[in-house]
Amino acid sequence: MWNPNQYERFKQERKQPFLDLLALVERRPRMRALDLGCGTGELTQELHEHLGADETLGIDNSETMLLKAGAFGGEMLRFERGNIEAFVTDRPYDLVFSNAALHWVPEHESLLTRLTSFLTSSGQIAIQMPANDDHASHQVAAALAEEYGVEPRRDYLLPVERYAQLLNRLGFQRQHVRLQVYGHVLDSSRAVVEWVKGALLTDYERRMPAERYAQFLAAYTERLLAEIGEHAPYFYTYKRILMWGTF
């Protein structure tokens, strides 16, 4: 159900956490990089070029996203359809990178252990995940889903300090883990609905018939605006976890 055009309505706002995560990665010679949840591939291309990598592979499970990714591919930058949970490799990577994707994947303790196993002996891991489930934009959706008989989207995130503990246990000698609040000045409160339609609400859309989802979306809009008020502009706070580690 991913709609690249809807997702990219806030392209610049969504890009800043990627840039902040990229700034944590150490550029090294002849890197081989893996981007899990590569989306449209545009940021994967930026990652590849920033690193001067020998080879970069982007993985995503959305066919519609990967249709756009094809425009950014090349001999040393490739894209493949696949699930993060099922991905395997017989060649280690110098960097496992994931921007705004792993919050959709359960069992983070075992997940990080598996991703670490993909790395070379001097490899790096870099992950950014939204952590905004306590904001009204997410809380209203979860409460309304229950009323519609749909299970609310689960929050798979661990407490931020647990990620630091995990990186330490997995052998990362140096690490950086932080929770950061990004502030986005949107045209109006109603723009928050357009924001979540491109990400969070795709999960509810996927699990409802079209007519039922249209009703859900109308009720969500009404209830969210009652909660946050109708303002123009509107300051939308969005929390994210950023982490990096190297052996």
Domain ranges of the chain: 4-133+154-184+238-246
Q: Give the pair of three-digit tokens for residue 73.
A: 């591919």
pLDDT tens for 208-222 read 999 999 999 999 999
Q: Would you call the peptide bond into 233 cis, given omega within 30 degrees of 0 as the criterion?
A: yes
Output the average pLDDT for the chain: 96
pLDDT tens for 93-150 read 999 999 999 999 999 999 999 999 999 999 999 999 999 999 999 999 999 999 999 9
Amino acid at 2: W
51, 123, 239 from 116: Cα distances, Å: 20, 9, 25
Radius of gyration of the chain (CA): 18
Cβ neighbors of 219 (< 8 A, separation 6 or more) are: 144
pLDDT at 11 over 90: no
pLDDT band at 171 (very low <50, low <70, confident <90, very high): very high
pLDDT band at 2 (very low <50, low <70, confident <90, very high): low
CATH number 3.30.450.20 given to 4-133+154-184+238-246: no
Strands of the 55-60 sheet, one edge to the other: 77-81, 55-60, 32-36, 93-99, 119-130, 234-246, 174-186
Check: CB of residue 170 under 8 Å from CB of residue 111: no
pLDDT band at 155 (very low <50, low <70, confident <90, very high): confident
Percent of the chain with pLDDT over 70: 98
pLDDT at 64 over 70: yes
* pLDDT at residue 186, rounded to an integer: 96
Check: CB of residue 85 under 8 Å from CB of residue 115: no
pLDDT tens for 221-243 read 999 999 999 999 999 999 999 99
Cβ neighbors of 32 (< 8 A, separation 6 or more) are: 53, 54, 55, 56, 91, 92, 93, 94, 95
pTM for the model stands at 0.95
